[in-house]
Amino acid sequence: MTFFCLVTAHHAGDLSYLARLQTVLLGWRAALGHHMLLIDTGGAWSGEVWSSTATQHRAPYWVLDAMNYHAVLADGLNDTTRASLQPHLQMRLVAPAELPLPLPQASPEQPLRWKVTPGASTPSLHNGILGLPTPPKGRVGWVEYAPEGPEIIAWQLREVNLHTLPDPSITAVVEFVESEARYFQRKKGNAHAAE
């Protein structure tokens, strides 16, 4: 039996892009079924995007959780923020120091773990560790692998059509997250004014 791991990275806090990405991912999920993992290998946040900075970089992680990611390299969160946010999310927020981690679909007899391989253009498999690349924004990596063995069956880098209509559910999540970010900005402004 083979499984698929869809890999994204470098969203840079662009929440409207995530709504378009969700439309594409839903189509691919329907085709692949339940033998699929969705992992983000970092760079979801940006210090230059107001919704990221207003929420201490939490905003993109809230949206990725609503998109049903399984795990996200939370390189934009410090340990305290990550620990306080994790109980409110279904996906796993991963600290860089925690890698490699077991893949949920690996069997106990043949555990397969994953890690991020920055700068790599293709996935790798060494000593039971699946090294995942960090695709550029606008592309999704497809890794087909067999846990038995283990072995990589195929790798593709697929383009996300930026003219895709945004998913309405994630658009609503983005609007909610942005309203929360505005609330945090006002609260922070009021706290500074009181000082």
pTM metric for this prediction: 0.92
pLDDT tens per residue across all 195 residues of the chain: 788 999 999 999 999 999 999 999 999 988 887 778 999 999 999 999 999 999 999 999 999 999 999 999 999 999 999 999 999 999 999 999 999 998 876 666 667 899 999 889 999 999 989 999 999 999 999 999 988 888 999 999 999 998 999 999 999 999 999 999 999 889 877 654 444
Instruction: Specify the fold of 3-194.
Output: Purple Acid Phosphatase; chain A, domain 2 (3.60.21)
Strand extents, DSSP E, 9-103: 36-40, 71-73, 92-94, 101-102
125 in Cβ contact with 143 (< 8 Å):
no
Q: Report long-range pairs for 27-31 (Cβ below 8 Å, ≥24 apart).
A: 28/140
For 102, how many CA atoms within 13 A lie in the half-sphere containing its CB?
A: 8
> What does the domain layout of the chain look like in residue ranges?
3-194
Q: What are residue 72's DSSP bridge partners?
A: 40, 93
